[in-house]
Structure 1
Amino acid sequence: MLGNNIKELRKAKRMTQKELADTLHVSQQTVGSWETKRAIPGADTLAQLADYFGVTTDYLLGRSEKKSSSEEQETKDLKKFLEDNLDNGMTFGDGKVTQEDREKLEIALTQIFYRYHDEFKKRKEEKGRFKF
């Protein structure tokens, strides 16, 4: 299961084994051995793989069908928050928010969320999270 999941995720990103190996600072042969089930990545490398592919370690190990990482879950949570709050009659001042204002609020809040989300991911990568 683990090897198949690594291979599936790598191919979904249109990466070669060498590109994934370079990203994780391991050899291409190491990636190949994971994918053919001849070797298993250590706990730290497993966490790096999950972070890189945006999935849970449980998904990689075949313990869960849920691919979502916590960041993807936050995106889903934001969407639910917006739907719950904006669809249930949000009000400002004396009156309800119009449909046009509601749409503008949703767009603005979503853009802010993704801007901060992208900045967080960049900072995380810049800190060399995938370096040994």
Structure 2
Amino acid sequence: MNYMNTFSMRMRALRTAYNLSLDEMAGILSLKNKASLYSWENQKNAPLLENLVNIADFFGISIDWLIGRSEDIYTESSMRSGEIALYTEVDNDYIGGREVGDGYRISFLHAVELVSCGYYLNLDGVFDMTEYDLRVEKCVDCNVHKEYYPLSVRANLLVLLHLVSTEDLYWAYFYVINGKNKRGVLTITKDKLLRIFGSRISDPYKEPGKKAQERAINLVELLRPSIESKIPVYDVEETLRKLEKEKLQKIHDEIKNLNTAKKDRDYGNLINKKTNKLEL
């Protein structure tokens, strides 16, 4: 098997499925620029082991799947590793790609608990623990999310929890419970932020942009309990199938064009020969 080819295709599928730009993905993986990412996706270079681990943790995927040694994209082990990495970042006051204060961290966790009604995250007893590794493990293991959220949905949640800020999470929550009517949502959100953080954060807050809105709303709808089985919003495996189909079609078209060009050349050569004979 060509592992480099498999990795490049699966790396692109991950980024495409979540609608992440090269710049966004480079920032997520703490790369200096998007050049490295571009070289990975085009089979020009291979990532370091550290990069592979970071990719797997961010998306909750199996490294074996990423490099083509397995067809199982998610495992309970890969998901747990990703969730531990997420809550370790949160416990270190690093949320949504930026450093935050202790109060912001606690508010972020409370927001996730609120939106999920305690099904995805249950904070009972978490803040009484003094050792961060125990807090992290309790955030991952003390809830019932394994029963209500399939692995593919937990992967979506893992990525979105990395990307969505507390402010946008509250905005999307109020928007959804308001029947997806924006009227009054910004005012309610700013009032909530004022009570939690004060005017420093509430006053400058504005309605999130289109991409941020979509991510925050998807996060809320995936977190909220439902009697129906949840399905992923971002389907990496389906995206991969589409990319592979497009690649095969491209190869088919290139072969067809080459054959057409060869026929044209052969026909042209034949005409030239006959013309030359006539002239003789």
Q: TM-score scaled to structure 2, two decimals? A: 0.28
Indicate whether 1:45 and 2:47 are aligned.
no
Deviations 1:43-91 (A, max 9, x none): 11101001111100001001111010436767xxxxxxxxxxxxxxxxx
Give the percent of matched residue pairs that are identical in Structure 1 and Structure 2: 26
Distance 1:9 1:28, change over 3 A: same
Q: TM-score scaled to structure 1, two decimals? A: 0.56
Inter-partner Cα distance in structure 2 for 1:49 and 1:38:
18
Report the number of matched residues.
Answer: 86
Aligned residue runs from structure 1 range 1-132, under 5 A: 1-26=6-31, 27-70=33-76, 112=118, 114-116=120-122, 119-120=139-140
Query: What SS does the aligned partner of 1:114 have?
Result: coil
Segments of structure 1 that go 5 or more residues without pairing to the other structure are 75-109, 126-132
Distance 1:52 1:68, change over 3 A: same
Q: Check the 8 A contact 2:56/2:78 in 1, yes or no.
A: no
Structure 1: which 4+ aligned runs deviate by more than 6 Å? Answer: none
Higher relative contact order (CA 8 A, sep 6+): 1
> How far off its partner does 1:113 sit?
5.3
Segments of structure 2 that go 5 or more residues without pairing to the other structure are 1-5, 81-115, 123-136, 141-157, 163-280
Inter-partner Cα distance in structure 2 for 1:111 and 1:64:
35
Q: Check the 8 A contact 2:56/2:62 in 1, yes or no.
A: yes
Q: Check the 8 A contact 2:7/2:67 in 1, yes or no.
A: yes
The one-letter amino acid of 1:47's match is: V
Inter-partner Cα distance in structure 2 for 1:61 and 1:72:
14
Inter-partner Cα distance in structure 1 for 2:20 and 2:46:
20
Inter-partner Cα distance in structure 2 for 1:61 and 1:6:
9
Query: What SS does the aligned partner of 1:18 have?
Result: helix
Query: What SS does the aligned partner of 2:25 have?
Result: helix
Inter-partner Cα distance in structure 1 for 2:44 and 2:34:
13
